[in-house]
């Protein structure tokens, strides 16, 4: 059989699964942790959690962001000030997840000024991600994934960070599930 026919015959099985390099095992215990100020990342997080049969954890700021807080045209808005100050760590409202119950963490955020909002740094620095497989994902108005997770990696250097992915608002659930399958596990 030609290689192409062989690959077609395998249908929905991902390339990573075929070639034996899954990012995580099918029986992994999975957490989908995310922050979302206006709901876009939350929708993606819900779809990922459904696709991987994982638990959802919303990173909720102690003080919710108002519309004025999110105004990036205003240099004095809360988000502008936080993003301009690399030391800011907005507090998280609720208890952190019991990370010992998980092997894999999908970590979602909206891109703010090219990077992850500071509250993601609060989360990775307060959670012991040692040895955990962490797969970042984000949404944005147009900025690519790029190095948006670099400060998160710096904040949790003992995690096993995997390549991340940016989704445009309105991405279809099938595109999200297809990305999850490419990570090497067929659900």
Ligand X SMILES: Cc1cc2nc3c(=O)[nH]c(=O)nc-3n(C[C@H](O)[C@H](O)[C@H](O)COP(=O)(O)O)c2cc1C
Binding site for ligand X (CB under 6 A): 36-42, 70, 72, 79, 110-114, 139-143, 169
Q: Please tell me the number of Cα atoms within 13 Å of 143 on its side-chain side.
A: 17
Q: Whose Cβ is closer to ligand X: residue 107's or residue 185's?
A: 107
What is the smallest separation between the CB atom of 56 and ligand X, expressed in angstroms? 14
Q: Whose Cβ is closer to ligand X: residue 127's or residue 139's?
A: 139
Q: What are phi and psi of 166, to 5 degrees?
A: -100, 140
Q: Whose Cβ is closer to ligand X: residue 14's or residue 140's?
A: 140
What is the smallest separation between the CB atom of 124 and ligand X, expressed in angstroms? 18
Q: Whose Cβ is closer to ligand X: residue 104's or residue 111's?
A: 111
DSSP 38: S
What is the smallest separation between the CB atom of 99 and ligand X, expressed in angstroms? 22
Q: For residue 166, what are the β-bridge partners? A: 138
Continuous segment of H or E residues that includes residue 4: helix 3-9
What is the smallest separation between the CB atom of 36 and ligand X, expressed in angstroms? 3
Continuous segment of H or E residues that includes residue 41: helix 40-52
Contact yes or no for 148/163 (Cβ under 8 A):
no
Closest residue by Cα to residue 41 from 118, 106, 92: 106
């Amino acid at each position: 059989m030609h290689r192409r026919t062989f690959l077609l015959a395998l249908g929905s099985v991902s390339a990573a699964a075929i070639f034996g390099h899954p990012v995580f095992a099918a029986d992994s215990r999975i957490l989908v942790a995310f922050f979302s100020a206006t709901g876009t990342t939350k929708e993606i997080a819900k779809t990922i959690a459904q696709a991987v049969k994982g638990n959802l954890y919303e990173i909720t700021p102690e003080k919710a962001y108002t519309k004025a807080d999110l105004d990036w045209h205003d240099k004095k808005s809360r988000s502008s000030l936080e993003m301009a100050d690399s030391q800011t760590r907005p507090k998280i409202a609720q208890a952190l997840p019991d990370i010992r119950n998980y092997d894999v963490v999908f970590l979602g955020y909206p891109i703010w000024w090219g990077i992850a909002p500071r509250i993601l740094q609060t989360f990775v620095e307060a959670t012991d991600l040692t040895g955990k497989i962490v797969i970042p994902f984000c949404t944005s108005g147009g900025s690519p994934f790029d190095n948006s997770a670099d400060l998160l990696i710096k904040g949790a250097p003992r995690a096993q960070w995997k390549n991340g992915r940016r989704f445009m608002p309105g991405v279809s659930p099938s595109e999200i599930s297809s990305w999850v399958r490419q990570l090497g596990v067929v659900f």
